[in-house]
Structure 1
Amino acid sequence: MAVYRFLLTPRWLGALALTLVAAVIMVLLADWQLARYRDRTAINEQIDAGQRMDPVPLAEAVAAPTGEAGTVGPAPTTERTWTKVNVTGRYDAANVILVRGRSLDRTVGFEVLTPLLLTDGTAVLVNRGWIPPTPGGDATVQPTVPTAPAGTVTVTGRIRAGEGGSLPVTSRDGKLETRRVSLPKLAGELPYPIYGGYVLLDQQTPAADPTFQTVPVGYTNSWQNYGYVVQWWIFAGMTLLGFGYFARREAQRRAGVVRERPTDRTAEATLA
């Protein structure tokens, strides 16, 4: 082992320290991606469970708002997000909300949210579905939105938390427009308190207009994160193996172990 004493020199000790620091950082990155993989897998499992379950009343999935008009209630807990719910009320066709810039099958269109007024004076936003832009126009031209059914409507769908962000809510041609489903922002534009989660429509009685296309459920790509976990583990292992490889080469050089390929002349003599 005396040949490896060079590892105790400042140069090699510094290289070893950098190698260990790099390997530790890579392992920590792998652990972070593993945590994201587990979180995203849990979300996908919740989505599947919500699809299989029988619907429950809205109040069982998310607490009702208790504030004044223009306020928003508590958001659904992580455990209750994607719960399938039933809710009955009447649509407020005067406060249709268009969420622009939403893609479906590589086409940019709009998702349509309409408040469903409940008997207690509160409302829950219902995502009635996706519609394409006006033919011949660009993605910013407002489409013709099918009129919401009049009278009592029963909705079945899955409860979702609002989206983050502070993008403004604007009004154009009698409809509210936004890029994000920010419930606090939208609540400020409405004359009643709204729930802190919105319903992604699955079924409706009376039936929804066929112009609407179902908004796909947002499954997460958890396996991508798992791939990153494996990648960082491999990089950490390669870093340590690389240090060992160069240390061994240096030890061989210092011990005078030099492997040379035979010259052409030596090869000819051997053949003779």
Structure 2
Amino acid sequence: MYRFLLTRQWLITILVALLLIPATIELGFWQLHRHEARVARNELIGKALTAPPVPFDTLSGAPGAGVPKDLTWRTVTATGRYDTAHEFVVRKRTDSSGSIGYFVVTPLTLADGKGTVLVNRGWVASAATATEYPPVPAAPSGEVALTGRLRADETYGDSGIKDRSGLPDRQFNLINTEEQSKESGVTLLGGYLELADTKPAPGDQPALVPEPNHSDIGPHMAYAIQWWLFTAMIPVGVAVLARREAKDRAQKAAKAEAAAEAVPADA
């Protein structure tokens, strides 16, 4: 009854189904791993943001040192004076509404003399043309006390941003202490500070970068379940198609037999 499964058409169908099953299982696990990574990231961010603030220079290492993963997003404090002569902007950054503009980054010379840290003071809108330096609220003068989130240097490999040369003066693609140290000649402590609060409060300042959303786990678990449901449907679908074809073949054979019996013997 099911000898048709040995035909070329059905052998190809079964082979494709057998190849799809492990592929869809693997895709499901890929989405599961993305879900687990997202949950772990959210837990890390939530823990870091709720921890008591500590001085920046107690977490940031020597100049050029990286920020450990478990310290990223940690709330930190810093006191010092802004070095506006080496201020720059970072291109193609979005605000909370998705508008494209610039991050304003200003070095802060620490009051305790332990070094200088880059501070992302927030977002400003684009200038009239891409070659112009955007209008930027002036950094507070005098000594300021900051609270912010500790971030690791951005890199071209991790961010996916392409390295481009020939950018306008004081415009860059990344917030990277090594790049800025070479550009400005200022020795910078590793990592940077994403500003959350300033005392005394300035009259005007860039739009502060909001805290990351650490409650959204994303759709990856739902995608994983969908892939595994599809995996289960593959053999079921093949079985349904085979049964349907067997039924169609049986009906055709019965009709042919009935037609043969209806023909008179002397016809």
For the superposition of Structure 1 and Structure 2, which TM-score range results when normalised by the shorter chain? Answer: 0.7 to 0.9
Alignment-derived partner of residue 82 in structure 2: 91
Distance 2:166 2:191 in 1: 21
Alignment-derived partner of residue 214 in structure 1: 208
Alignment-derived partner of residue 148 in structure 2: 157
Alignment-derived partner of residue 187 in structure 1: 181
Distance 1:219 1:168 in 2: 30
Distance 1:148 1:222 in 2: 36
> What aligned pairs does 1:26-175 form with structure 2 within 5 A after superposition?
26-65=24-63, 72-74=64-66, 76-104=67-95, 105-118=97-110, 119-120=112-113, 122-134=115-127, 137-138=128-129, 141-165=132-156, 167-168=163-164, 172=168
Number of aligned pairs?
247
- For the residue of structure 2 that corresponds to 1:109, the secondary structure is strand
Q: Percent identity?
A: 35
Distance 1:208 1:258 in 2: 89
- Residue 259 of structure 1: CA displacement? 11
Deviations 1:63-90 (A, max 9, x none): 232xxxxxx222x222111111112222
Deviations 1:127-186 (A, max 9, x none): 01112235xx246532232222233322111111222215247675xx621122244322
Alignment-derived partner of residue 227 in structure 1: 222
RMSD: 2.9
Residue pair 1:154, 1:204 contacting (<8 A) in 2 also: yes
The TM-score, its normalising length taken from structure 1, stands at 0.77
Residue pair 1:170, 1:178 contacting (<8 A) in 2 also: no
- For the residue of structure 2 that corresponds to 1:82, the secondary structure is coil
Q: 1:145 to 1:115 in 2, by over 3 A?
A: same
Alignment-derived partner of residue 22 in structure 1: 20
- Residue 258 of structure 1: CA displacement? 8.8
Range moving further from structure 2, 197-206 or 56-65: 56-65
- Residue 236 of structure 1: CA displacement? 2.0
Residue pair 1:62, 1:77 contacting (<8 A) in 2 also: no
The list of structure 1 runs, each at least 4 consecutive aligned residues, that deviate by more than 6 angstroms after superposition, is 257-260
The TM-score, its normalising length taken from structure 2, stands at 0.79
Q: 1:147 to 1:259 in 2, by over 3 A?
A: farther
Q: 1:140 to 1:52 in 2, by over 3 A?
A: farther
